[in-house]
Chain A
């Protein structure tokens, strides 16, 4: 189909608007799935639309699009070790195998990306059809509003502006297409002046109305936020008034529990030689609802840059290594701590560190003002724990009694459980490992949304351990601390960030991106002769601890090692990229909240598919009817049904028999319309069937042919 220049300009206008609307689709998808390369995807959309305007030959446009997808995959995923051809053939091979094996979730990222590209491609193809052939964009617009509305309601994506943009753009496009339809229906010549005369008022009206609407005062929402409301009505997820918290680092932990939403805002970019957790502070006093900090102010001291840092965790014996931290979030006015930290470099000679020995929080200060340095460096020597020493230490008595504090009204069953878990082990380390691994063994699940808040006198730990068994890091870590303390092991609650997502590697230095989603809490336990040691009870997470297995090969204890360390090892990579996905794997259950929007998307697609099928039923129903009624036509007594099906089909192409119209009259009308004589032939036979005394021998095969011919004509 060749287009004139004016038509091309016209379609270019349509496509620009569509491009802008599609951008609103892409944005939340990118945001919610933490996908990068927004511009590249956007560019692909642009290319698809552009190719559509110039209506290039099929082969050329396919080539360009496929080339772009290939280029993207190669440049993003190929790390240079393989040639392009090798990379592509490798990818193809692995994914074919994976798919043939039915292991859908293991297809590689390049393959997923390609599928996403193809999805965009198909979507644009569909939209092009709507615009260029049907001059209607209604479904697409409806879908967009539905999509953004759903995301706005059910995720933390804020679609306020997106909806406004989509509505204004959509209404303008609808108006332009309506004019186009009108002009075509009226057979008007394409004339830019008259086109503008029609279009301008609408565009001006929509724009002004949109702008005015933005600045007008809005009434309060008439409906409650659907997710908590529905959960409240259904009686799940605790009280419906419980607000949704957003993940991140906060100071107040007095009331733990309740659902939260993810927030993948970048907060730190860290270059480190090893993957590790980042401490911020510890808390020692458990209130049965949360944590507070008990120590007095006397433990406060100010550290100069040169001073040794008096942390309770002593550095290891290895060579000092350094970590570069780029802090993005200025609200986080504290310093991250690597395990085994020895010194800080804050790049400002005036800066000092206010250190609180009670909770070990480091606050950077310049001239008595708490600051938030955008970048700093720390030197650390990774602590190393001797396996032999760990196994030998049987007590946790030295140190401070505040790390054994427990609320007076802690239910007895918590202590009983702690005893039960640890009874069979002797060393403190083994006991702690037993508690650490208890959750994964006993059917606990990682969950961020459907998390209860203890009500009344209920204990936060008790509720998690015995009732809900659903929760996130705070639940797991707090429970572990309480369980350890119940059996006399000193333990404290540690807050900080997990290692984040590795994005780059160079000369043995890894670059990690730490987002608010990585805010985390874990456990440190005190072992006599060893000191404080971190533990990670949360399902799906792992904190690499450097343990020196200085044991003889013959030692029988070795058998316990695989249970302790190995199962987590293969998960490391996975967790770094997507802790939530790892959670799914680890607990072998699907975390509904993460797949929610996928399900909504599928539902929307199903709905649209259904609508399209219904609207197009004239096209497929006859064929179905042929298939279904084929056998019926072999016998004359069921031929009647076949004929009635045909009448129905004809109705669909607006050839409806009037109630007073005889079959002959109708057949004549149909034949005139379809320019054939078949309907009369068939009707003559049918008349004989229903009005005559008995059917003569009639060539059924011929009737069948005629019937099929007519049925197919109704779909033409």
Chain B
């Protein structure tokens, strides 16, 4: 385990109980330069998670609560005429921050969603013809509620592709929940934590992640997995090459977090369901049978041979 990352996770764990895996995956995504889609019901600690992460990293934290009437400019920002300088001045929206929590992203109109997702992809915003670079690091954590579908605008496949990982939060266990209550009895835990890493250190970590070696046999493994989703009998639309890249990036980041400078198949296997499950579309009949994306990915994993020899090009 990388020591600095371990420090962050321990810091987060002071606030979040029993959510180490979520914390790890969030950091994986952050270091890989990707964004996370958290899918879960309200109240399980999504916001707290992001805030704890943000506070541990000493970065700015912004939150956007998406509503049906939210406009793109509410997200990106708006230029306002300043009578003193006789010029339009740009007032940055909540998107301009290091870590952004986009709450209930599926409640807003596609137009606003597109504005958010575009800035996520480009890491920049364009206002009145001017391109403004977003601060680094830029990490969006979007949430969506899978229960209430009425009056929502489900994210299209192409948009979902922009999230590196899709994570499900899940309820805490009984013991964990009791512990949550115990800690929240008198104080607010989030107020007690402080930054353990500077932004520079974080950027250095991000740079190092890119150095993590992916051997050819691992690349082949990733591609085999991706291709297998495209031919799987339960899948209507398989993952794109962008997904393969995403899986490789995530694997690099995860390997780095685990203290390695090379990716092993275990990294790929662990991450593939978080990377692929929101990128495939199941056949309707499959869905009716109650088969989930996770199950399909599991069977894909089962079919593909793990490389145990050095890569020999065919």
Contact = CB atoms under 8 A, between A and B. Distances in A.
B215 A690 contact: yes
Contacts of B308: 644, 647, 657, 663, 690
B309 A644 contact: yes
A563 interface: no
The size class of the interface chain A forms with chain B is 10 to 19
6 shortest interchain CB distances as A-B pairs: A692-B262, A693-B213, A662-B265, A662-B266, A691-B215, A659-B305
Nearest to B260: A692
A479 to B, nearest CB: 74
B213 A660 contact: no
Contacts of A687: 262, 264
Contacts of A689: 310
Interface in B256-314: 260-266, 269, 301-310
A647 B306 CA distance: 14
Contacts of A644: 308-309
A640 B310 contact: yes
A663 B308 CA distance: 7
Interface string B62-88: 000000000000000000000000000
A661 interface: yes
Contacts of A548: none
Contacts of B263: 691
Contact of A691 (B218, B302, B305): B218
B217 interface: yes
A640 B265 CA distance: 17
A640 B310 CA distance: 8
A166 to B, nearest CB: 50
Contacts of B304: 659-660
B218 A693 contact: no
Contacts of A663: 264-265, 306, 308
A664 interface: yes
Interface in A662-716: 662-665, 687-693
Interface of B: 213, 215, 217-218, 260-266, 269, 301-310
Interface string A274-289: 0000000000000000
A663 B264 CA distance: 9
Interface string A108-119: 000000000000
Contact of A664 (B217, B264, B303, B307): B264
Contacts of B309: 640, 644, 690
Contacts, number: 57
Contacts of A660: 269, 301-306
Given A691-B215, A693-B213, A662 B262 contact: no
Given A644-B308, A660-B269, A693-B215, 15 more contacts: A640-B309, A644-B309, A660-B302, A660-B303, A660-B304, A661-B306, A662-B265, A662-B269, A663-B308, A687-B264, A690-B217, A690-B309, A691-B218, A691-B264, A693-B213
A279 to B, nearest CB: 84
30 contacts: A640-B310, A644-B308, A657-B308, A659-B305, A660-B269, A660-B301, A660-B302, A660-B303, A660-B306, A662-B264, A662-B265, A662-B269, A662-B306, A663-B264, A663-B308, A664-B266, A665-B266, A687-B262, A689-B310, A690-B215, A690-B217, A690-B308, A691-B217, A691-B218, A691-B262, A691-B263, A692-B213, A692-B260, A692-B262, A693-B215
B261 A692 contact: yes
A246 B309 CA distance: 68
| Residue of A661, A662, A689, A693 contacting most chain B CB atoms (<10 Å) | A662
A693 B264 contact: no
A687 B264 CA distance: 7
A668 to B, nearest CB: 10
Contacts of B307: 690
A663 B304 CA distance: 14
Contacts of B264: 662-664, 687, 691
Given A640-B310, A660-B304, A661-B306, A693 B266 contact: no
A689 B310 CA distance: 8
B306 A688 contact: no
Contacts of A659: 302, 304-306
Contacts of A664: 264, 266
Nearest to A694: B213
A282 B205 CA distance: 116
Contacts of A692: 213, 215, 260-262
A692 B216 CA distance: 10
A605 to B, nearest CB: 41
Nearest to B311: A690
Contacts of B305: 659-660
Contacts of B215: 690-693
Contacts of A688: 262
A690 B310 CA distance: 5
Contacts of B262: 687-688, 691-693
Contacts of A657: 308
A663 B215 CA distance: 15
A75 B309 CA distance: 69
B220 to A, nearest CB: 12
A665 B268 CA distance: 13
A30 B306 CA distance: 62
A535 B302 CA distance: 89
A644 B310 CA distance: 11
Nearest to B270: A662
A136 to B, nearest CB: 37
A28 to B, nearest CB: 55
A647 B309 CA distance: 12
B109 to A, nearest CB: 43
A661 B217 CA distance: 15
Contacts of A693: 213, 215, 261-262
A529 to B, nearest CB: 97
A664 B308 CA distance: 11
Contacts of B261: 692-693
B2 to A, nearest CB: 16
Interface in A86-106: none
A567 to B, nearest CB: 72
Contacts of B266: 662, 664-665
Nearest to A690: B310
A687 B260 CA distance: 11
A693 B218 CA distance: 12
Contacts of B269: 660, 662
Contacts of A662: 264-266, 269, 306
| Residue of B304, B306, B308, B310 contacting most chain A CB atoms (<10 Å) | B308
Interface in A635-653: 640, 644, 647
